[in-house]
Structures are given as structure tokens and as C-alpha cells.
Amino acid sequence: MSSFLWAGVVLGLSAGLIPGPLLVLVVSQSLRLGTAAGMKVAATPLITDMPIALVSFTVLTQIASVEPFFGILSIAGAIFLFCLSWQTFSMTQDEFRIAEGHRGGFADGLFLNVVNPYPYLFWVTIGGPTLVDARVVGWPASIAFLLSFYGSLVGSKMWVAWLVGKRHRPLGSRGYLIFVRSLGAALLIFALLFVRDAWTYWTLK
């Protein structure tokens, strides 16, 4: 069960701290309206992602016996993780200096997450298959993955809201960049594990 717990932590931190549209909105709200406003935006994945996660898990559970299909999903997940890992390593400090003039609020955060393709890609290729694997171990493993993932995802964005809103510290610091790149290294390891899983699905037949 601990492996699913740590997987949730690493994937959640990566999703929470790699710059993207929602993180831009978290920072802009924290700068304009204070930490509390930024934290509200940071919590929007709890509303928008849950239906995606539930549908992905339900559908994948129904076809769990089709192992070649899960092999294809594992390769797709590996490619997605490779891309995210490459994104973290190719970033410069300037890319973390998010524009302060951006406007938006909680409703905009909900809208951004609904139209953002990343949650759908994540839950179909990575999160959903991981939940299916965790269910084989037991429901506690599935719950551990969900809680650690969303705790890390939302918690890290709330930390950014506090850092910017209360401390007025920029995200472009060297320490922040190094930490995000270390998450990129962890994502690379997960990508290799997904390739291994695909090989297992195909060779067992």
C-alpha cells in the first residue's frame, strides 16, 4: 500500500507545482485578493477532477481483464509522464515568473480545469490504471492513492498561494526550480515503471 501512497504524493506534487493555467490563476488571485482567494482557486480540482476520476476508474474496472488494452494504456501513460518530465527539465527560471496582471477567480478556476486536457489525460492513462492496480491490493490502497494525490496536488497549490500572498516570494527562485526538477526525475522513474507494466501485460499472454 505504501507504494501507492508515495505514487500519489509524487504525482500530486508534480501536478501541483509545475506551472500551468491553474497555477497562474492561483498566483494572480493571491497577489490581487490575498492568500484566501488563491487557496479557493487551488481547491478547484477537488470539484472538477472527481467526476473524471470516477468515470475513468469505473470504465477501466469493467475492462480490467483485457490486458493488452492495459498495455497500450501503460505506454500512453509512460509517454505522458516522459513529456511532463521533459517539461520540468527544460524549464528556466523565467518561466516561473508568472504574470501578475492575470485576472480571474474561483469560477475561472473551475472553467480552466474543465477545459484543460491534462486531468483527462492523467486519469485515463495514469490515475485510472493506478487505481485499478490499487484495488487489486485492496480498497485501503486505492483510498491511500486518492488522498495522497489530492492532498499533495491541492496542498502544494495552497502552499504557493501562501508563499505568494503572505510572503510575497517569487516562484522563480533557484530552490523552487531544483525541487520541481527533482520531481521531474521521479516522473521519469514512474514512466519507466509504466513501460515495464506494458511489457508485463503483453508478455503474459
pLDDT digits (tens, 9 = 90+) for 136-179: 888 899 999 999 999 999 999 999 888 887 766 556 566 667 77
Tens of pLDDT along 170-193? Answer: 565 666 677 777 877 888 888 888
Q: How many Cα atoms sit within 13 Å of 39 on the Cβ side?
A: 10
- Please give the tally of structural domains in the chain: 1
pTM value? 0.78
Predicted confidence (pLDDT) per residue in 15-42, tens digit: 888 877 788 778 777 877 788 888 988 9
* Count of alpha carbons within 13 angstroms of residue 127, beta-carbon side: 32
CA distance 122 to 154: 16
Alpha carbons 76 and 46: distance in angstroms, whole number: 25
Spatial separation of the C-alpha atoms in residues 183 and 51, rounded to whole Å:
26
> For residue 137, what are the CA distances in angstroms to 41, 107, 133, 144?
34, 38, 7, 11
**Range of the structural domain that residue 80 is part of:** 2-203
> 171 with 96: CB under 8 angstroms?
yes
d(C-alpha 116, C-alpha 110), whole Å: 10
The model's pLDDT over 84-134, given as tens digits with 9 standing for 90+, comes to 788 777 766 555 555 444 555 677 778 777 777 788 888 988 898 899 889
